[in-house]
Each structure stands twice: as C-alpha cells, then as structure tokens.
Amino acid sequence: MSRKVTVGLLLVPGLALLVFGFLYPFITTLFAPPTIEDTSVLGRLGELVGDSFVLTVAARTIRVAVVVTVVCLVFGFPVAYLISRVPARWRGLLLAMSIFPLLLSNVVRTYSWLVILGRNGLISQALVALGLADEPVQLLYTELALVIGLAQLFMPMMIVTSYSSLSQVDFRLEEAARGLGASAGRAFRRVVLPLALPGVLVGATLVFAGSVTAFTTPMLLGGTQNRTLATLLYEYANVKLDWAAASAVALIMTVIVLVVSAVTTRLSGKAKVV
Amino acid sequence: MRRRPVLWGLAALALLFLLGPILLMVPVAFSSGDTIEFPPPGLSTRWFEQALDYQPFLDALRTSLLVAGGATLLALLIGVPATLVIQRYRFPGRKAIETLFLSPVIVPELVLGFALFQQLMVTLRITALGALLIGHTVLLLPYAVRVTGASLAMSDPALEEAARGLGAGPVRAFFRITLPVMTPGIVAASVLSLLTSFNNVPLSLLLTGPGMSTLPVEMLRYVEFSFDPVVAAVSTLLLGITVVVALVTERLVGFNKVFSQ
Amino acid sequence: MTPVVQLKAVTREFAGTAAVREVDLTVTRGQFVALLGPSGCGKTTTLRMIAGYLQPTSGTILLEGRDATRLPPERRNIGMVFQSYALFPHMTVAKNVAFGLQMRKVPAAQIRTRVHEALDLVGLAHLADRRPQQLSGGQQQRVALARAIAARPAVLLLDEPLSNLDARLRVQMRQELLRIQRETGITAILVTHDQEEALELADSMVILDRGRVVQQGHPREVFRAPRTRFVAEFLGYENFLDLPGRGRITIRPEHVDVVEHDAAPPAGGESVTGTVAAVRFRGTDCVVTVDVGGQNVLATTTNDSLRAGSPVRLFLPLDRAISLTGTDSVPGDGGQGTPSLQHQQESPA
C-alpha cells in the first residue's frame, strides 16, 4: 500500500467528521440558516447592531470579560510564578489544587455562588453582622457576580498556562541577572517576564474567550438583568425562536473570539492559542 | 529559598477563592432546611435521597454517561490515526491538517451546539442522541489529537523503523510498538475527554429531545425553578466521584501531567 | 561468492536535489565497510536505502543476490543499530532482543537461548529483566547491538552507533564492536563522520562527498594515498601546496623539515621558502605556521629559536609528499553551494 493511500485512509474519518459535524453546520448556521420567516442573517445582524439593547449586551460581555481577564492575571500569574519556584514537593500539590476545579462541571462550580452571594448568603450575612449594611444585600444578578463567578471559573486556566511557560524559564537566568547587579524585582521584570509573556498572553486569551462565550455562569448569576451574548443567543434560539437573530449573535460572538485569538497569536509570536 | 510572604498570601487567597465555594456545597447538601443556605439549620441526608429518586436526573445521568463514553471512544478511534499521520508523516499541507483538527477548540461551544441543532436535528432530522454524539466527538477530537500527539512526539520516531527492520510489518509495528508507546497519552486523553464531555453544558444545551438531556443541563434547568438543595446534593456526589477520578488518574499517569495540558 | 549487499547506480533525490548520486557499492560476506563523510554527504541516506526505510529514485539494490530495491524493511533480513538506539521503552532488555526472533517465528524455546547468547555476547546477560530507561548509554548501545544481531541478519547496519557516547566510552566500544563482528563473522556497514572510527574498525572504507563516492579501499590505502584534497582534508591532512611540475601535493607537518633559509636545498625533495607566521610550543616540539607565498604550511620542528617573522626554508621529502591526482569538482553540480541534505527531510513512519 502506498504512503499516499495510507495517509488518506487514516485521515478520512477525521476529515469526514470535521466536515459533517463542524464545518458544514457551523458555516451554514452563521451565514445561511434555514429561517422561519424569510430574514437573512446579515439583514438581522444589521437590525441588531442598530439596536441599542444588543449593543449594550455586547458591551457588557466584553467589559466583564476584560475585568475577568485582569483579575485572573493579577491573581493567577503570581500564583503560577510561586508554583514554578517552590520546591518540588510543594509544586505538585499547589498545581493539583489549582487545577482540580477544572475537573468539575461549571454548573457545580457556579452553584456555590448562589449560597454565597444571595440575599441570605454568606457575604450578606457577614455585612449585616459587622454592621456594614443595614439590611441584607443582594449581590446576585449583578455584573459583580458575573465577574466573581467567571474569575473563579477561568483562573485555573491562567495559572496552568502561565505556569507551563514560567517553568520553561531557567531559574538560573534570574540568578545570573542578580549576579549582574539586578534587584529581585528588576531581574523578574527584565528577564523572567519577557520570557514568560507569550504563555501569559495565551492564558489571557483563553480566559477572555472563555468569559465571552461562557453560558452557565451568566445564566445562573447574571439573571435577566445582566444578559451576555451567550444568554442572549440562547434566548433567541430557544425562547423567541428568532433563529436569524441567534445566528447574528453567534456571528458577533465568533468574530470577537477569533479576532482576539488572532491578535494575541500575532503578539505572542510563536505561541499559538489553538 | 527566600520566603515570599506576599506571593504565599496571594496564593492562599487564590486557592481559597477557587476551592472554598466548592467545599461550601457539602454542608449545604446535608442541610435539613428547604432552601440553600449556609450555615444549614440542621443536618440530614434527605436531599440526597430526593436527588437519587428524581427520575429526570437518573435519565440524564444515563445519557451523559452514554454520550461521554461514546464520544470519547469515537474521538480516540478517529483522532489516533490522524495523530499518527500528523506526527509521523511529512507531506505538504500537514500543518493545515493539524490546525483543522485542533480548530474546534476556538469556536464557541454554544455556537457549535446551536449550529448542530439547526443543521443536524432540524434540517437533517438526526436524533438528539445522534447530534449529542457527533457534537461531543467534534469537541473532544482536539484533545485526542493533542494529548496523544504529545506522547507520540516525545517518543523516538526510529522505534517503528527499528520494529520494521526487525521483521514486523507496518500493522504489527503499530500494535506492538506505537500503540503501547502511546498508551499513557491515550489514558490521559480518555480521562480528559470523559470529564470534558460529562461536564459540558453549552454544547449539550440545545441538543435535547423528549427525555433526552444531559445531567449538567438538567441540573441547570432544576436550579432555574427551584432553590432547594437537591442540586447541592448532586454536586456533592459529583465532587466525590471527581476526587476518586483524580486519585486514580494520579496513580495511572500523573494528575498534573494529564490536566495541565 | 555472491556479495551480501550490492548497490548499482543508486540515486536518491529529495525535492529534485540528489542526496545520493549513482552510488555503486559491493559488500562481501564478513566484510566491515565504513561509509564515511561529513554531514550531508549522503551516507545515512545510503544506509537507509539499504535498510529499506527509503526508496531509491533510480538504481538497484541487491541483497544476497536478490533484487531488494522495492522490498519493505521487514522483508530484507537486516539488523540495524540506530543512532538513538530506538530501544522499545515498554519492553525489558530481553523482550527487546527477542522481538526480531518473534517476528521471524522462531520457536519460543529457541528464542530464550538465542536471547541469552546475544546478551552474553555483549556482556549484559545479567541485565535481561531491566527496562531500557534503567540502563546507562553504553549499556543501551550494547542492547541495541544484541537486538540487531540476535536474529542473525544477513547484514548489520550501524548508523553512527557510537556518536551518543562520551569520548572514553566511544573508544572502548569500538573495540567491543570489532570483537563482536570478528566473533560472529557478521557482515557490517557502518555510517560515521569520525575518520578515526572508520580507520580502526573497517576493512573497507567508502568516502562520500555530496552524494558521490569519491574514494574507496582499505583504510590504510586510502589514508596513505588520498586522491583528492577533500579526502585528504577529511582524513586530517592540513598542508596543501601546488608545486610547479608536480601539481598539488599534501604532506604531514611532521614530515616537513624546517631548515635555515639560506641552506642549500637537499637532494630528494622539493624546497620552498617562506616566513614564519606563528609558533606554537607543544613541549617536546613546536608547530610553526609558515607563510609560503600566501599559503600557510604547517611543520613541526625541535628548533625553538624560531620567531614570527623569521625567514625559513621548508624541505619536502618526495617520498613523503602525496600527489593529489583527483579533482573535487562533481560533474553536473553547482559546486560548493550544494545544500546539505539530511534524511530527516523525509521521514516515513
């Protein structure tokens, strides 16, 4: 059997699946969905973009995703750095503890926040008990709840990607920089950070894209007041049955994710998000 | 080693933030009260009993297991041959093929779910179970290709050549040498795939039919109309199972190795 | 007697560039042949074609008299030792060695004795139950060798087998390799870029340059009479001089006599004058670099009064000077600019 035939046979099942179960439905839905009324996606997209409600939702989605990304960076990166520089026996445990939440469903992970952020939740009780609030505080169904829930969801990703790129940075480089007269902070900024940056960018992109497309968390913690593109898409598709609108929202969401991935892939050089 | 109080402080905060809420669910699940609250007014196991008696959850659990197992198997059967080609052959367009096989990860899952719902279920009249299997296999394919590919990339390409030189034909060389060398990668990919599929919400959300829905989606639906601790009880059970899976994975191939990819 | 391996006008191209051109090679039973040359000369490509991992673009490969040009590796009855050893990580040492015997359907009882024999031959019978990862580099090398010869292949192919060992172990393993080849009488083809290794091990040396055989013969012959500057340089010759009436010659520094610049030229040789450019003191003697009309010539001398700038005369005894009769240019080739090709450019599974 010739090499070409072998290669072909081995790839055919995968290619068939990707065409039938991914490319064909995906492209058809985004650009030419079968619609109930006779509206085209691009036409509906035009209407939606002209609609301030959709713009508000898109802006909220992006705003929340940016804040979540920053929060994950601020906490996740130092934790990753610590993990990469502690003795091996600590490293495994800290890494495992950071990763473990990824093994659980987002429903499970988000559910707890209902207990913590609700009107009778932990935080509300604490604030009242401390005299910081006169009456129970409702933190659920706010943008803050969204940020908290999503940050908890995606921080492990930030830690893991940062860690894997930080662990590639030889700690002796830092020692060399210190030996050449750099302070600890300077050695970190001038040597470690530039080397770890591509991995951190990849992590930030994953967090951002995950936050833009997350469904469970905005569904549970955002409520009807704080819709995001994902919950809006679900509503058009499943409740209002306006499939052209759902496709248009899907298109907006996909474009945001692809553009951000493309930009960071460019910025980070070789490191690829995919 | 220098002490790093600020870093350790941040790490403690981050881990509390990550793990605290998950652990908090356990006492809530054992509550005797009628709504989710902490601290619980008293302890009981009635919500666990109720959860295990709730037929939609049991049906959904069966679907979830079927879909996770089936999609993992399919993704490996389809992904391993592709990985073999991507890792061991050089031909024009190889990079493009690799990118194509990894590309489902960048597409929003909710969008893919919506697309499959429209094109496969509505237009082509494929059943919800069929659409779920196809969708989840597409979702898992990048993991299968990447994780088994990593184990293959680390092994010496001369291994297969050595087997051929010693008299093994291509098929025998694959089963006697390549497959065993890839086994840790296949185990890792399986664990990762099973969990990813089992936990998925956005992709499964719209791919439902009469009596056909996955467990996380059913849990989400339940929370939408009821605030009683049944879902906390299910979550606690899932947490327990996940801990067991994590420990077994650690024994088999190393927990961090599998889940840090 | 039928040659064990015979290559007839074998050519292999990668993307239109020939890595091996028109190579003819004959290896007889019991011979130890070394394919020698710098990286990119086509030696590994040639070996991989003999093993069946690559197909020639044109030409014929005969193994034990039968046309094997299109046979897959598993049907060629070869034993190959890889540069990386390629030991199966999921099998013990004994299982690794048994693999080739199992593939050839040797009865189990016989496999056991032959595995033991092979491991005994390389002195590793006591490590039969270890995993490859638990062995040192030298031990892994021996296992690879035992695995390759256990099934008594027609020819043993060695692809830079010693290059991953440290210098001391390398020299030691050469002796081992030679002993094992002598004891088993196996036909062997060795690919190496280390001329010392080839000189010491082989009874026939084939020097390749840009895909062509430039010289072959017994190592002693080749070493004493390199035909071209390329071969001479590769074997460590450093002095190259164009002498009027004699053409291009090479001579070892220790055979060049450094004499006073005004001394009369002795009979039986040529002499040239020049200026000392540099002196390196080595203890018992000095190596002087002499600028002869723009060309540097190295000579060893015990005269330690020479300084840079001293005018000297060099005496080149004719019985020591080697005439380089061949030219290095490859017909139909662009010259030095040929890109170096490595077999990794195409790697079939």
pLDDT digits (tens, 9 = 90+) for B145-182: 999 999 898 889 899 999 999 999 999 999 999 999 99
Higher pLDDT, A109 or A267: A109
The three-class DSSP label of residue C187 is: strand
Question: How confident is the model at residue A34, as a pLDDT?
Answer: 59
| Position C333 in a domain | no
Q: Which of B218, B206, B36 is nearest to B108 (CA)?
A: B206
Q: Does the beta carbon of B171 lie under 8 angstroms from any beta carbon of chain C?
A: no
Residues of C in contact with B166 (CB under 8 A): 74, 79, 99-100, 103, 147, 151
pLDDT band at C219 (very low <50, low <70, confident <90, very high): very high
Q: Which of C136, C112, C107, C142 is nearest to C124 (CA)?
A: C142
Percent of chain B with pLDDT over 70: 99
Residue C49 to residues A62, A256, B192, C56, C213, Cα–Cα distance (Å): 58, 52, 42, 6, 15
Same domain, C291 and C206: no
- The average pLDDT across C214-235 equals 92
Same domain, C248 and C117: no
Q: Of the spans B121-125, C145-149, C312-316, which averages the highest pLDDT?
A: C145-149
B3, B6, B15, B18: which to substitute to probe chain A, counting the most A Cβ within 10 Å? B18
Residues of C in contact with B164 (CB under 8 A): 52-53, 72-74
Question: How confident is the model at residue C338, as a pLDDT?
Answer: 33
Q: What sign has the CA pseudo-torsion C229, C230, C235, C236?
A: positive
| Position C287 in a domain | yes
- C-beta separation of A113 from B235 below 8 A: no
Q: Does the beta carbon of B67 lie under 8 angstroms from any beta carbon of chain A?
A: no
pLDDT of A40 higher than 80: no
Residues of B in contact with A152 (CB under 8 A): 17-18, 21
Range of C71's domain?
3-224
Residue in A closest to B243 by C-alpha: A100
pLDDT of C123 higher than 60: yes
Question: How confident is the model at residue C320, as a pLDDT?
Answer: 84
C-alpha–C-alpha distance, residues C166 and C186, integer Å: 26
Across the interface, which of A11, A100, A152 has its CB nearest the CB of B17?
A152
Residue in A closest to B245 by C-alpha: A103
- The average pLDDT across B251-260 equals 84
| Position C274 in a domain | yes
Question: How confident is the model at residue A35, as a pLDDT?
Answer: 53
Q: What sign has the CA pseudo-torsion B118, B120, B124, B129?
A: negative
- Are B223 and A87 an interchain contact pair (Cβ–Cβ within 8 Å)? no
Same domain, C196 and C256: no
Question: How confident is the model at residue B254, as a pLDDT?
Answer: 87
Same domain, C74 and C100: yes
The neighbours of chain A, by the rule of 3 or more Cβ pairs under 8 Å, are B
Q: Is the peptide bond between B39 and the residue preceding it cis, with omega within 30 degrees of 0? A: yes
What residues pair up with C10 in beta bridges, in sequence order?
C23
Higher pLDDT, A47 or B65: B65
pLDDT in tens, A233-258: 999 998 888 888 888 899 999 999 99
| Position C153 in a domain | yes
Starting at the edge strand found earlier in the chain, the sheet holding C17-27 runs: C17-27, C5-14, C58-63, C66-67
pLDDT of A33 higher than 70: no
| Position C349 in a domain | no
Same domain, C216 and C84: yes
Indicate the number of domains in chain C: 2
pLDDT in tens, B84-99: 999 988 888 899 999 9
Question: How confident is the model at residue C236, as a pLDDT?
Answer: 86
pLDDT of B131 higher than 80: yes
- Are B114 and A163 an interchain contact pair (Cβ–Cβ within 8 Å)? no
- The average pLDDT across B186-205 equals 95
pLDDT band at C335 (very low <50, low <70, confident <90, very high): very low
Long-range contacts of C227-234 (CB under 8 A, 24+ apart): C227/C324, C227/C325, C227/C326, C228/C324, C228/C326, C228/C327, C228/C328, C229/C324, C229/C328, C230/C328, C231/C207, C231/C326, C232/C322, C232/C324, C234/C36, C234/C37, C234/C38, C234/C195, C234/C207
Domain of C210, CATH number, reads 3.40.50.300
pLDDT of C96 higher than 60: yes
pLDDT of C337 higher than 60: no
What does the mean pLDDT of chain C come to?
Answer: 88
Domain of C263, CATH number, reads 2.40.50.100
- CATH code of the domain made up of B64-258: 1.10.3720.10
Same domain, C111 and C152: yes
Same domain, C162 and C33: yes
| Position C307 in a domain | yes
Question: How confident is the model at residue C262, as a pLDDT?
Answer: 76
- Are A98 and B223 an interchain contact pair (Cβ–Cβ within 8 Å)? no
H or E segment and range at residue C276? strand C269-281
- Are C89 and B155 an interchain contact pair (Cβ–Cβ within 8 Å)? yes
For residue A52, the distance in angstroms to the closest alpha carbon of chain B comes to: 22
pLDDT of C336 higher than 90: no
pLDDT band at B261 (very low <50, low <70, confident <90, very high): low
- The average pLDDT across B228-240 equals 94
pLDDT band at C329 (very low <50, low <70, confident <90, very high): low
Q: Does the beta carbon of B158 lie under 8 angstroms from any beta carbon of chain C?
A: yes
Same domain, C313 and C186: no
